Structure 1
Amino acid sequence: MNKNVSKGNPLALLPIVVFLVLFVGSGIITGDFYQMPVLVAFMIASGVALLFNRNEKFDTKMDIFCKSAGDPNIVLMLVIFLLAGAFGSVAKAMGGVDSTVNLSLSVLPPNLLVAGLFVIGSFISISMGTSVGTIAALAPIGLGIAEKTGIPVALVTGAIVGGAMFGDNLSMISDTTIAASRTQGCDLKDKFKVNFLIVLPAAILTVILLAVMTSGYKGSAGQTYSYEFIKVVPYIAVLVGALCGVNVFVLLGGGILFAGVVGMTTGSLDLSGLIQAVSGGMAGMQELCILVLIVGGVVGLMKHNGGIDFLLNFITSRINSKKGAEFGIAALVSVVDLCTANNTIAIVTAGPLAKDIAEQYDIDPRKTASILDIFSACWQGMIPYGAQLVTAAGIVGVSAVEIIKYLHYPMLMLVCGIGSIIFGIPRLKKTKENTSKVS
């Protein structure tokens, strides 16, 4: 541990305080936590950050802002976001989402429908890289199953949200996985392995719990689901390729071409439709990309002005062990997510500080990345004003608060995350090449 950390300047954290006041304050006052756009709030925060250090020229501060926003890790993250958006859009346009959902539903026995929906949601969100997209795809089907079987709608919806958060937390093309891995400097596949070992018990317990809770419901939805297996293959190819360690740029670029070829071969897409799908997918990521740039610039200015040093000193002065450091990182990203209702923003915001703490306490980057993703995901899946529950509640017509008691997986994920810190699970050993093996 570095004992010479500067005490820093707490006033340098004012930009993030301004952001939270604007974003959370407007949500409390209006009852709508999306009334204040996150991008607008961060733009105002960046203006506040530029007001510090009046002795420095404005051009100098803008140079710091731009260099921080243009950090190589951030730029690489942006390109990955754009490619991930394009792949998801092309795969959806050629019917991959519908086929994946229907294939999964076709093989499930009636008395395991709800547990099966959790598994389906997990697979789809791992494949698509988006929890909200998974919920939007599955919620209407879940509502129909609930109506025909008598299973409580909130229970079915909770299973879908849980599955969506499982996959979103692990997917190779999820913006949260990408952000967590890039900010901590580890490979996607390595973070996946560590993260998977931590949350697997939560997933297994959730499946068992859902199966037991719905064992008395024997009715079938009585519906035939049509699908084309070839349209599921691009998702499988991306998942397998990622696990095999294929370069993420090659993986996503190849996935886009593969999905496009499948779409044109099956007649679901023509060349014009493919181009429009790629464009639309990238356009859907533009706001996130701009936001990441602004956050990078603001964090850079706060660090230059001593804000990061203050936080580091504040947290580390209360940390006496490696486990304490891991809990500090978990608490940091949790608080940011609860305030912003966006796990990607929480990871991007907390990531640089988490990396500093991890380096001081020799925490493996993959463990840090997993902590960031797990603790932001579990809270994101449980807050009633988050996009996931808002989307689910809107589709099925029940209160978001009513769904919370059935969010078994996010709750168990939180427990597993805490347990992994307390018991030091999984144990990681470094090889001579400075890579690690999971034991």
Structure 2
Amino acid sequence: MFVNGLFKLSPVFLLAGMMFVGTDALVAAPVATVYAAIVAMISEKMKFQEIVDSAVENVKEMQLVFFILMAAYAMAESFMATGVGASIINVALSLGLTAKTIAVTGFLVTSILSIATGTSWGTFAACAPIFLWLNHIVGGNIMLTVGAIAGGACFGDNIGLISDTTVVSSGIQRVEVVHRIKHQGIWSISCLIVSAILIFATSIFMGLPSFMGNAGDAINQIPAEVWANLEEARPAAVSLLNQVQEGVPVYMMIPLVIVLIAAIKGLPTLACLGLGIVSSFVFGMFAGTISSAGEFLGLMETGFSDAGSWVIVMMMWVGAFGGIMGRIKAFAPISKFISSTVKNVRQLMFSNGILAILGNMALADEMAQIVTIGPIMKELTDDNVEATEEQMYKLRLRNATFGDALGVFGSQLIPWHVYIGFYVGIASAVYPLQEFGAMDIIRYNFMAMVAVSSLLILTLTGWDRFIPNFAIPSEPDVKLKKNINVKETVKKTS
């Protein structure tokens, strides 16, 4: 049984190993998927068509994400070319941003925007062209800034009322979204504050300059050969830099405001991104940054093709991989092991958190982890814990937080995760002066580190009782059923 369980998990080890040695995800994911299919044939005697159906069915669940990806890439392209990014950069510079404050400012802005939009993917796509080039202008540390906005973009995806991961993770555990947000609200804000302090302290420790950046000087320092490469690789970035130098109307910030308002009103992510794209075109025509509809459609074509050339293909393979791994119930031995080894309720809940992380590592997709591991966590808790309905509800709230937080923030620490692939793709697309890799997103993502580590530590130690509304019940108020049965057996024999 143990050997068979390890065999079912071996595709995870293969995928992780290939990514660790630097294999491109477009190679690693297909190889791991084919190997997972072989494992399914051997361990579960599955037929080839059953395997294909499992893979395709899981990919079907990601279709909406593919459209969101294309829209996100297109909005990033339009925000760079129409003057939205340039207007925000110039306003930020006028407020006195420096190399020391650019990363923490980007972190706080993306945190707020992600709450409003409910999407980390869309937030990162909208903010990367702004803050990466703003970082260049003020002379900040590009890795610190990209890690900061990556972590900030995930904040609202974990606690936003309109976030799909928040809604789905709460629904699986059968808890109300508003109750979930109340349960983890102060903890989430605490993580935000601690992370902001760490980001700012790191910028000081790096010895970054305190003087205000001059856009013209920074842009003029870009070598001629870099301009040529930039024009070939990312024409929209050239437009953005020229607009920063020449200036654009302040009203070009309105498209970003429209996206915020639409998100606050509860419009779907695709609608928010679509409004951002359309409004940037309309205001760009007024400002003269876009000369024709044909030119703008060319930007959309570039965004769509960039999304389809790498990240969507990679996600399809990862989705297929997750579908096969879910079908063979690769995590069943682990759940059985957990129920047989834990000694109290807190250990069980901590193990649920670890299970969520392992599922995220295996499936390389936070939503796949939520829908695959979420029911396992719920079943483990319901089947093994003796508690009142009110106490069980609090435990389910923690499971929902596990599924979402360890899915969204946990993804930021997994090099082969589709999240990281998307962020690397966007960052590379909008800022070709730097070659980004997975570890560049992870290295300074303090928000992910603080959220994941604190959630697990607070759960295991019981220190969550010091955070309002965040405590979960533990012994003697709740008990493991197996411990109750043992006590009853001892009483009968004595």
TM-score of the aligned structures, taking structure 2 as reference length? 0.62
Hey, what does 1:301 align to over in structure 2? 324
1:164 equivalent in structure 2: 149
Structure 1 residue 289: Cα displacement: 3.7
Amino acid at match of 1:256: I
Note closer, same or farther for the CA distance 1:244–1:103 as it changes in structure 2 (3 Å cut).
same
SS in 2 for 1:51: helix
Q: Deviations over 1:186-206 (max 9, x none)?
A: 59x968887775443233334
Partner of 1:347: 366
CA distance in 2 between counterparts of 1:172 and 1:18 reads 29
Alignment of 1:360-379 (within 5 A): 360=379, 361=381, 363-364=396-397, 366-367=400-401, 368-377=403-412
Instruction: Measure, in 2, the Cα distance between the counterparts of 1:273 and 1:97.
Output: 18
Aligned to 2:80: 92
Q: 1:169 Cα deviation (Å)?
A: 0.8
Correspondence 1:271-282 to 2 at 5 A: 271-282=293-304
- Quote the Cα distance in structure 2 between the aligned partners of 1:289 and 1:35: 11
Q: In 2, distance between residues paired with 1:369 and 1:398? A: 26
Quote the residue 1:3 is aligned against.
Answer: none
Report the CA distance shift for 1:296/1:118 in structure 2 as closer, same or farther (over 3 A): same
- The residue matched to 2:301 in structure 1 has which SS? helix
- The question of whether the paired residues in 2 share the 8 Å contact of 1:90 and 1:256 is answered with yes
The alignment partner of 1:307 has SS state of coil
Give the alignment of 1:265-276 within 5 angstroms.
265-269=286-290, 270-276=292-298
Find the residue that maps to 2:30 and give its secondary structure: helix
Distance 1:121 1:54 in 2: 46
Of 251, 258, 274 in structure 2, the residue corresponding to residue 253 of structure 1 is: 274
Q: From the superposition, tell whether residues 202 and 357 of structure 1 become closer, same or farther in structure 2 (CA, over 3 Å).
A: same
Pair 1:253–1:141, CA change in 2 (3 A): closer
**Out of 138, 145, 154, which is 1:145 matched to?**
138
Bigger radius of gyration, 1 or 2?
A: 2
Within a 5 Å distance, the mapping from 1:4-403 to structure 2 comes to 11=4, 14=7, 17-18=10-11, 20-25=13-18, 27-28=20-21, 32-34=22-24, 37-49=27-39, 51-52=41-42, 56-71=46-61, 74-108=62-96, 113-123=99-109, 126=113, 129=122, 131=124, 138-139=131-132, 141-142=134-135, 145-146=138-139, 156-157=141-142, 159-170=144-155, 180-181=165-166, 184=169, 197-208=186-197, 214=204, 218-223=210-215, 226-269=247-290, 270-286=292-308, 287-319=310-342, 323-324=346-347, 326-332=349-355, 334=357, 345-348=364-367, 350-360=369-379, 361=381, 363-364=396-397, 366-367=400-401, 368-377=403-412
Which structure 2 residue ranges, 5 or more long, are not aligned?
115-120, 217-243, 382-394, 472-494
**1:66 is matched by which residue type in structure 2?**
V
> Partners of 1:403 and 1:304 in 2: how far apart?
31
- 1:412 matches 2:450: yes
Deviations 1:89-114 (A, max 9, x none): 3333323233323322321365xx52
Contact 1:122/1:165 (<8 A) preserved: no
Q: Which amino acid aligns with 2:264?
A: L
> What is the match of residue 4 of structure 1?
none
Deviation at 1:284, TM superposition (A): 3.3
In 2, Cα distance between equivalents of 1:180 and 1:96? 28
* DSSP-derived class of the 2:212 partner: coil
The residue type equivalent to 1:307 in the other structure is A
Deviates more, 1:304-313 or 1:133-142: 133-142
Give distance in 2, aligned partners of 1:409 and 1:388.
15
Farther-moved stretch of structure 1 (310-319 vs 267-276)? 310-319
Structure whose residues are more often helix by fraction: 2
**Alignment partners' CA distance in 2, 1:100 and 1:10:** 57
Contact 1:65–1:301 under 8 Å retained in 2 = yes
* Contact kept in structure 1, 2:36 and 2:325, CA below 8 Å: no
Q: What TM-score do you get using the length of structure 1 for normalisation?
A: 0.68
Give distance in 1, aligned partners of 2:325 and 2:368.
11
* Per-residue deviation, 1:356: 1.7
Within 2, Cα distance between the matches of 1:198 and 1:92?
A: 35
| Counterpart in the other structure of 1:150 | none
How big is the alpha-carbon RMSD for the aligned residues of Structure 1 and Structure 2? 4.8
Residues of 2 paired with 1:179 and 1:401: CA distance?
Answer: 26
Residues 88-97 or 48-57, more deviating: 48-57
AA in 2 matched with 1:100: I
Structure 1 pair 106–400 and aligned structure 2 pair: CA distance change class (3 A) = farther
Take 2:268 and 2:424, find their aligned partners in 1: how far apart are those partners? 33
3-state SS of 2:266 partner: coil
Contact 1:87 1:252 in 2 (8 A): yes
Q: Is the 8 A contact 2:103 2:200 kept in 1?
A: no
Q: Which amino acid aligns with 2:211?
A: G
Range 407-416 or range 301-310, more displaced? 407-416
CA shift in 2, pair 1:27/1:302, >3 Å? closer
Contact 1:9/1:307 (8 A) holds in 2: no
% identity of equivalent residues: 15
Report the CA distance shift for 1:264/1:180 in structure 2 as closer, same or farther (over 3 A).
Answer: same
Find the aligned partners of 2:248 and 2:458 in 1 and give their Cα distance: 39
